[in-house]
Amino acid sequence: MKGKRIIAMALAAALCLPLTGCGDKSAANGDDRPVLKVGFECMTAPITWTQLDDSNGAVPITGSNEYTYGFEVELMKQLCDKAGYRMEAYKIDWEGLLLGVQTGTIDCAISAISITDERKASMDFTDCYYRSQIVALVKKDSKYAGKTKLQDLSGASCTSMLNTLWYDIIDQIPNVDKMPAMDNVPAMIVSLQSGIVDMLLMDEPTALSAVAANPDLAMVKLAEGSGFQLSDEDTDLGIAVSKKRSDVKEKLNAALGQITEEEKEEMLRHAIEVQPVNQ
């Protein structure tokens, strides 16, 4: 508990330093809309990534000289415009994102966060903004490439990202050699390409992005009825909102209702198209 308290204090300090004060609503460049502090992981294309300029509509990362862009950044830009907020983006690792929402040091976070009952105990969620299927990523010349049934993956060595439902779902693979979880998707891809593991589990957009950037990789999407058993908790992604900001949840939900599924698919397609080649 003491360790968590120290981390929370450090996170709060880091988030408040670049501002005149937490919850600051002062105008920036003539924009007097209230500030919404949004946390992004910024390491998983096409969801979010980090870049050095504002090309393709990237937004500045608060407290740094870097920018972030991706499907979720574009979605949050449009949601903030519709909800009347001025967005401030923060780059925070996965564990820090959830802690930041829990402590209220950021208003909300978006980073392919599944809506689970466990998480609802310490944070609120908007309505689902995307339903993501779980797929496998393998080398193109792997014996597992092109498989369509879960039993065809039997015996594979597999890993995924730390503290995610992706990692939990590995247990459904028959006779799986479950390897230690990894901190982020780039590290996972290195482990696959270097032969440390046979496959990775992740959501479909992340796999599509990885294949686009790495021609030596292939996505394995299992046939309906022959794949992973998934619940709504496994597939439904929501924006995590601090319980201190019920007003944010209401406004973001209203804004989500104004964006069509087709518009979100176009945002995702565009993000895959413009993602950095090294992501």
Give the pLDDT band of residue 27 (cuts 50, 70, 90). low
The yes-or-no verdict on residue 16 having pLDDT over 60 is no
How far apart are the C-alpha atoms of 276 and 279, rounded to whole Å?
6
What phi and psi values does residue 161 have, to the nearest 5 degrees? -85, 140
In this structure, are residues 209 and 201 in contact, taking their beta carbons and an 8 Å threshold?
Answer: no
pLDDT value of residue 163 = 82
Hey, is 113 helix, strand or coil?
coil
Of 22 and 94, more confident: 94
Cα angle value 210/62/202 (rounded, 5°): 20
pLDDT value of residue 10 = 43
Neighbour order of strands in the sheet with 86-91: 86-91, 35-40, 108-109, 240-241, 124-125
In this structure, are residues 176 and 109 in contact, taking their beta carbons and an 8 Å threshold?
Answer: no
Identity at 48, one-letter amino acid code: T
The yes-or-no verdict on residue 30 having pLDDT over 80 is no
The yes-or-no verdict on residue 18 having pLDDT over 50 is no
The yes-or-no verdict on residue 26 having pLDDT over 50 is no
State the DSSP string of 117-156. HHHHTT-EE-S--EE--EEEEEETTSTTTT--SGGGGTT-
pLDDT per position as a tens digit, 131-182: 988 999 999 999 999 999 999 999 999 999 998 889 999 999 999 999 999 9
pLDDT per position as a tens digit, 206-224: 999 899 999 999 999 999 8
Neighbour order of strands in the sheet with 49-51: 49-51, 67-69, 59-60
Give the pLDDT band of residue 29 (cuts 50, 70, 90). low
In this structure, are residues 116 and 136 in contact, taking their beta carbons and an 8 Å threshold?
Answer: no
Give the pLDDT band of residue 116 (cuts 50, 70, 90). very high
- pLDDT (mean) for 91-118: 93
Find where tokens 């909300």 sit.
108
The yes-or-no verdict on residue 7 having pLDDT over 80 is no
Classify the C-alpha dihedral 182-14-70-58 as positive or negative.
negative
Percent of the chain with pLDDT over 90: 76
* Helix H or strand E encompassing 46: none
Q: How far is CA 246 from CA 80, 108, 126, 250, in A?
A: 15, 11, 10, 6
DSSP 8-state class, residue 7: H
Range of lowest pLDDT (15-19, 132-136, 208-212, 251-255):
15-19
Of 209 and 20, more confident: 209
Cα angle value 100/103/105 (rounded, 5°): 55
Go through the domains of the chain in sequence order and give each one's CATH number: 2-130+237-274 (3.40.190.10), 134-229 (3.40.190.10)
Cα 211 from chain centroid? 18
DSSP 8-state class, residue 69: E
pLDDT per position as a tens digit, 47-92: 999 999 999 999 999 999 999 999 999 999 999 999 999 999 999 9
